Amino acid sequence: MRRKRGILGGKMDSALRQVIDDTLVSYEAVGGMNHTDGHNLPSKRTMGQICGQLLQVLFPGFHDEQPIHKRELGDLTEKRLVKLSEGLADQIAKSLQVADPACPKAKAKDVLMRFLQSLPEVRQLLATDIAAAYEGDPAALSNEEIILSYPCIEAIAIQRMAHILYVACVPLLPRMMTEWAHASTGIDIHPGARIGSHFFIDHGTGVVIGETCRIGSHVKLYHGVTLGARSFAKNEAGKLVKGGKRHPNVEDRVTIYPNSTILGGETVIGAGSTIGANVFLMQSVAANSLVYYEEKQLRIADKIGAPRELEWSI
């Protein structure tokens, strides 16, 4: 029987065969990028769907194409939580089995139930976050506007849920959840961060909050704020030492204005303080401090006849 020619033609077939062979050699030579031991990893696509389902449960009627009537809410919530439970139980089991292939599925079920039981508490916290956004932004006209259009609510909601899995020592899933929110909102909050009530991130783009941050209640951040690590300890082999307190604490009723960077695990921003825009800070400040740069002299000149060195181009 005559062998069929490949869709790319005979000459291309041989070239493609070489590419395939070279790729297989790469799989053997370059480790750490292959997962071929027969155990399934959690699915990024599935976790994205689960995050969407979580938002529907947390904010019924706000992430739906069809209107929801109160009389339907009981049956709808039951269906949603059953579907969410089935999908998330499987993902939790896969995650736990990455670290321990013999991990029983019963453990995944226990983790799942604790996660689901936290939903009412998380909703109470999110209600305070929405209130903080309404009180802290004069442009906010209603709770509906905030839930539908403020990226911080989505990012905070997913982080608060991911934090529960993080505390339960579930690998992979918490970061997958917050990175899903990061991709959607531009706000990067590590699931390990502990965040109090009435948390508001105005605008939000470019905000980074590290794993070991401890944030109190009634804290307001603006866009571009980084709560990061100052330095990383290394062992005798020069490798980074994992864990440890690396990110700052921000106490109650603190406001941090745009593009400020606060670094270090020993850095504490005292309660009631205000950090001005564009501040770079690696030391603690006492409660009720105002931190800012002295304003540079501002000049306004007539462009006509101005020296050439004052003309800029973009």
Reported as a single tens digit per residue, the pLDDT across 108-121 is 999 999 999 999 99
In the chain, CATH 1.10.3130.10 sits at: 36-187
Q: For the residues of 217-284, what is the DSSP string, one character each? A: SS-EEETT-EEE-S---B-TTSPBPP-S--S-EE-TT-EE-TT-EEE-TT-EE-TT-EE-TT-EE-S-
Q: For the residues of 18-59, what is the DSSP string, one character each? A: HHHHHHHHHHHHS-SS---SSPPPPPHHHHHHHHHHHHHHHS
The pLDDT of residue 173 is 97
The pLDDT of residue 151 is 97
| CATH 1.10.3130.10 given to domain 36-187 | yes
CA 89 to centroid of chain Cα atoms: 21
Of residues 226 and 104, more confidence is placed in 226
pLDDT, one tens digit per residue, over 227-268 is 999 977 778 787 878 889 999 999 999 999 999 999 999 999
The pLDDT of residue 31 is 64
The pLDDT of residue 312 is 45
Q: For the residues of 184-219, what is the DSSP string, one character each? A: HHS-EE-TT-EE-SS-EEES-TT-EE-TT-EE-SS-
pLDDT, one tens digit per residue, over 270-290 is 999 999 999 999 999 999 999
In the chain, CATH 2.160.10.10 sits at: 206-314
| CATH 2.160.10.10 given to domain 206-314 | yes
In the chain the first and final C-alpha atoms are separated, in Å, by 67
Of residues 160 and 3, more confidence is placed in 160
The pLDDT of residue 310 is 44
pLDDT band at 185 (very low <50, low <70, confident <90, very high): very high
